[in-house]
């Protein structure tokens, strides 16, 4: 049988394609078997219950959608209100059209609650945190499933955050500061974040299970009394700029006729209250090869890292701090971007102790 060169080339290409597909299929089977073998060694540490999902739905602040919804509905139906020009101020409108405003509020609440519940169940319905000897795995998504893996040896520190509402409810979010680059471009900001609605005690327990080499010290040092005076005497640029704006524009929020200096005084009270709470709740401690900072105020943030993961330590001191023999201490951890942490207004004696503790990090570095 005689075939042309063109026909022969076609047969050769066909055979090569078949061999290539067989090789790809073989590699795929081997990879699947490897994944199943690794999956069998994983330990599942957390899956949210329906109660957790319902709590997360009302904690995610989705109900704040009520505000733009009500404003939009009022703009749409406002022209239909009778004799709207004869009223002055938003409170008069509410008093004279209470039934309509009540309807808007009820509709907004229903829409906000339903939207928040649906979003939470879709996003965290199939949420699962598991781990092996080398990795931490996060699976999430009910409709659009996503999967992340974090190497344990790339974890540079642990951060526990609490918003104002989460502090009230005793919830927290755990974030892992990692030196690895995010593996997902679509949700890169959430790659190193564990379930953001954990009970605070459950968060500490989860850290102990996932990263047993990290330990949390419940006994921490508080800031000295001199630190409170510095926090209260330090100028607030936010308050200064806001006061200038209030004096110049003299606004009347919500049609409340009140002197500009009253709003300025109210803002100053909030700033001072947050600084006092920050002084009361800020703590720090170094123990063995760990250091942890706990910042408090209206929100809360705890950071734990190991000495070997700290790549830089810096000290700074203002004239006011020098007068009270205090200083600011900051550390850097390798991550993307570099993670900067620290505490302000600590005693100079603690800074010297910390510097000596950091110099001993050579004991933690293993040379192969």
What pLDDT was estimated at residue 167? 86
CA distance 282 to 266: 24
300 three-class SS = strand
Residue 95 sits at the vertex; the CA angle it makes with 94 and 96, to the nearest 5 degrees, is: 95
* Share above pLDDT 70 across residues of the chain, in percent, rounded to a whole number: 72
CATH for 215-363, options being 1.10.10, 1.10.3470, 2.40.128, 2.30.29: 2.30.29
Segments of 179-307 assigned E as strands: 198-199, 221-222, 283-287, 290-295, 300-306
The confidence band for 76, taking pLDDT boundaries of 50, 70 and 90, is low
What pLDDT was estimated at residue 110? 79
* Share above pLDDT 90 across residues of the chain, in percent, rounded to a whole number: 38
- In terms of Cα–Cα distance, which of 146, 152, 191 is closest to 42? 152
What are the tokens at 67? 């505000």
Q: Is 136 left (phi over 0), alpha (psi -120 to 50) or beta?
A: beta
The confidence band for 191, taking pLDDT boundaries of 50, 70 and 90, is low
What pLDDT was estimated at residue 349? 94
Q: Is the pLDDT of residue 32 over 50?
A: no
Work out the average pLDDT over 10-22.
Answer: 46
Mean of pLDDT over the chain: 78
Q: Is the pLDDT of residue 275 over 60?
A: yes
The confidence band for 169, taking pLDDT boundaries of 50, 70 and 90, is confident
Residue 287 forms beta bridges with which residues? 290
What pLDDT was estimated at residue 134? 92
CB 111 within 8 A of CB 117: no
């Amino acid at each position: 049988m005689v075939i042309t060169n063109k026909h022969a080339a076609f047969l050769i290409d066909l055979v090569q394609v078949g061999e290539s597909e067989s090789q790809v299929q073989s590699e795929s089977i081997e990879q699947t078997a490897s994944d199943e073998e690794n999956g069998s060694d994983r330990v599942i540490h957390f899956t949210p219950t329906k109660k957790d999902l319902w709590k997360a739905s009302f904690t995610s602040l989705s109900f704040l959608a009520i505000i733009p919804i009500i404003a939009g509905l009022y703009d749409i139906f406002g022209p239909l209100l009778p004799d709207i020009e004869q009223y002055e101020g938003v409170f008069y409108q509410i008093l004279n059209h209470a039934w309509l405003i009540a309807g808007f509020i009820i509709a907004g609440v229903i829409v906000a609650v339903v939207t928040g519940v649906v979003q939470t169940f879709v996003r965290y319905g199939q949420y699962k945190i598991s781990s092996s000897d080398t990795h931490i795995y996060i699976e999430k998504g009910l409709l659009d499933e996503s999967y992340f893996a974090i190497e344990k040896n790339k974890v540079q520190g642990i951060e526990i955050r609490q918003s104002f509402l989460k502090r009230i409810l005793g919830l927290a979010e755990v974030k892992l500061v990692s030196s690895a680059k995010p593996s997902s471009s679509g949700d890169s900001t959430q790659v190193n974040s564990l379930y953001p609605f954990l009970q605070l005690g459950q968060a500490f327990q989860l850290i102990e299970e996932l990263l047993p080499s990290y330990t949390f010290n419940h006994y921490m040092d508080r800031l000295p009394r001199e630190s409170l005076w510095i926090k209260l005497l330090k100028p607030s640029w936010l308050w200064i700029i806001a006061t200038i704006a209030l004096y110049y524009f003299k606004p009347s929020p919500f049609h409340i006729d009140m002197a500009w200096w009253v709003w300025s005084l109210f803002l100053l009270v909030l700033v001072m209250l947050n600084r006092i709470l920050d002084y009361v709740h800020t703590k720090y401690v170094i123990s063995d090869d760990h250091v942890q900072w706990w910042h408090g105020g209206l929100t809360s943030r705890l950071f734990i890292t190991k000495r070997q993961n700290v790549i830089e330590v810096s000290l700074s001191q203002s004239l006011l701090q020098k007068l009270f023999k205090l200083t600011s201490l900051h550390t850097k951890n390798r991550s993307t971007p570099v993670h900067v942490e620290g505490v302000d207004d600590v005693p100079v004696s603690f800074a010297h102790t910390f510097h000596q503790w950091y110099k001993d990090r050579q004991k933690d570095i293993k040379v192969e």
